[in-house]
Amino acid sequence: MQDTQIIPAGFRQDAQGRLVPINQIKEIDLERDSIVNELLAEAKALAGQVATFKRKALGEVQAFVELSAERYGASLGGKKGNVTLTSYDGRGQLVRALANSVEFDERLLAAKALIDECLTEWSEGARPELKTIVHDAFSTDKKGNLATHKILSLRRMKIDDPKWLSAMEAISDALQVTGSKTYVRFYERNEDGQYVQLSLDPTEL
């Protein structure tokens, strides 16, 4: 972040924080600066409107869910849980969804060690496909992050080996919920009867 400072008239500040006379800046650089700052300001304003709308939508959905529960004498504890609301004519639909952020703790290392032992013991009879699946499950992306869904998919394999089962138990125990985020999504039914999501993200246009 650059320190905020007063820019004298007739000058522009460059990326290194230096003050440069405008008459020494190429016209194309000034035009580039103008369009970036103009669109960035509009994007920030739009992002603020979307954020405000999402807070309003989540608040109204929660209020309706509580109202509906009160009709049956039920008291809801907190705002957890996914819910889908559909318009009376079935054309419009909104979904409130809770997405958890999960990570693995140190017990994943124990699981990996047990799986490696299994592969070593099965080396003569193990199918090459199994080795590929396991190695792919524990591979990381460019940022060093593991693919959670790939590791969890190993638990669906029907393998009765005690060591493998211990590894699967270690994977389950290693999974920790580190946070959650609530989303609200809007859908409209098209001519084919399929619900199509309305994008609130300009990058998806």
Give the mean pLDDT of 88-107: 91
Query: Does 123 or 175 have the greater pLDDT score?
Result: 175
| pLDDT, position 172 | 93
CB atoms under 10 Å from CB of 5, counted, come to 9
- E strand map for 25-125: 83-86, 92-104
Per-residue b/e over 111-128, b at no fewer than 16 CB within 10 Å?
bbebbeebeeeeeeeeee
| pLDDT, position 77 | 56
What whole-number percentage of the chain has pLDDT above 90?
53
Q: Tokens 């009879």 label which residue?
A: 125
Amino acid letter, residue 196 = V
Cβ within 8 Å of residue 8, ≥6 positions away: 19
- In this structure, the answer to whether residues 75 and 108 fall within a common structural domain is no
The per-residue pLDDT for range 116-158, each reduced to its tens digit, is 888 888 876 666 777 888 888 888 888 888 888 899 999 988 8
- In this structure, the answer to whether residues 118 and 72 fall within a common structural domain is no
Give the mean pLDDT of 188-200: 91
| pLDDT, position 1 | 45
88 within some domain: no
| pLDDT, position 202 | 63
Residue 2, token pair as written in the block: 């650059």
Bridge partners, 19 (sequence order): 13
Phi, psi angles (nearest 5°) of residue 11: -130, 160
96 within some domain: no
The per-residue pLDDT for range 36-46, each reduced to its tens digit, is 999 999 999 99
Confidence of residue 5 (pLDDT cuts 50, 70, 90): confident
183 within some domain: no
195 within some domain: no
Check whether 3 has a pLDDT greater than 60.
Answer: no
- Strands 195-198 and 19-21 come out as unpaired
Q: Give, in order, the Cα–Cα distances in Å from 126 to each of 116, 135, 178.
A: 12, 14, 36
When divided into structural domains, the chain yields a total of 2
Q: Answer yes or no: pTM beyond 0.75.
A: no
CA–CA gap between residue 128 and residue 103 (Å, rounded)? 28
Cβ within 8 Å of residue 186, ≥6 positions away: 92, 93, 94, 95, 197, 198, 200
CA–CA gap between residue 130 and residue 69 (Å, rounded)? 48
Count Cα atoms within 13 angstroms, Cβ side, for 31: 3
The per-residue pLDDT for range 57-83, each reduced to its tens digit, is 999 998 999 888 888 877 665 566 789
190 within some domain: no
- E strand map for 35-174: 83-86, 92-104
57 within some domain: yes
34 within some domain: yes
Whole domain around residue 68: which residue ranges? 1-79
